[in-house]
Structure 1
């Protein structure tokens, strides 16, 4: 548990915890009503770790054709990266969460080459953003698509657009700043 702004926040991964073994890169997972944006690299500098914890973060939810994705940006740390996901490939927990009215959050997890969590940032989606995610993703569950159609559409999309260019298809953009205004 962590205490932020006098509210108790449930953090999925803790610093020092082992993350399931995986390759370097960035990908999306889901647990406990939280979208996990996992970034693995062999080496993280102190500056990068500090920036995850303190820099502005922008998360955009995009839809283009049959593609759903988040675009993640961390100011002066991580350029725009796309995190596509095919709703129907989700496990029972993910499908149940989409059908529920529960609030959503996201967590950015930096993982080292030795599969250790070295930094975590947890943020909440507000009520409007959560409602939008529920509505848009519930519609995806009943569309007549399959995984191969999604893969072909995603390959076509990334051949035409860089991740930052996908922002024009944003359904919403959430900006998270720890700076006092």
Structure 2
């Protein structure tokens, strides 16, 4: 997927907020807001970035913190991922944090490569998720329960995988 700063994001994202997927060879963590200041973009590129994985009730929640941007939670179901086979067979995982403005323009992109041991831990948990009997809507109910019970910072404290870049 071709994603370049100052260009439209290849997929139209209608609403403000967060969305994620695993595409080709990487996780895409997308945060869409009305506007991103130059300071916010600079901090994203300069300041430490943390990516954590919280796993409970067969729900994988990636938590991403960078710069001055609040911790964003991204709910992921590997069973709905078109690139599931590539993800579960990857040796080392990569991710891109992408900031979009209200016009769906890429304002900033930061790429990271997960450490090998953390990549394997994430793949192990997602493999576990892939083996759960899939019932349409059950993932959404479990995810909604987690959203109601815990704030992103609380999930960060209990994360199974914690990575800093």
Aligned counterparts of 2:94 and 2:87: Cα–Cα separation in 1: 13
1:140 to partner: Cα distance: 1.4
Gaps of 5+ in 2: none
Gaps of 5+ in 1: 1-10, 177-181
Residue 3 (structure 2) pairs with residue 17 (structure 1) = no
2:99–2:106 CA contact under 8 A, matched in 1: yes
In the other structure, the counterpart of 1:64 is: 56
Residue 149 (structure 2) pairs with residue 160 (structure 1) = yes
In the other structure, the counterpart of 2:88 is: 99
Matches within 5 A, 1:139-158: 139-158=128-147
Aligned counterparts of 1:81 and 1:112: Cα–Cα separation in 2: 16
Deviation sequence 1:68-95 (CA, Å, 0-9, x none)? 01011113x211121011111111x2x1
Aligned counterparts of 1:53 and 1:98: Cα–Cα separation in 2: 26
Question: How many corresponding residue pairs?
Answer: 163
In the other structure, the counterpart of 1:80 is: 71
Larger Rg: 1
In the other structure, the counterpart of 1:44 is: 36
Among residues 104, 119, 135, which one is paired with 1:115 in the alignment?
104
Aligned counterparts of 2:108 and 2:116: Cα–Cα separation in 1: 26
Aligned counterparts of 1:173 and 1:119: Cα–Cα separation in 2: 23
Question: What's the TM-score, normalizing by structure 2?
Answer: 0.92
| Shift in alpha-carbon separation, 1:12–1:174, aligned structure 2, 3 A | farther
Question: What's the TM-score, normalizing by structure 1?
Answer: 0.84
1:71–1:163 CA contact under 8 A, matched in 2: yes
Write out the 4+ residue segments of structure 1 that deviate beyond 2 Å after TM superposition: none
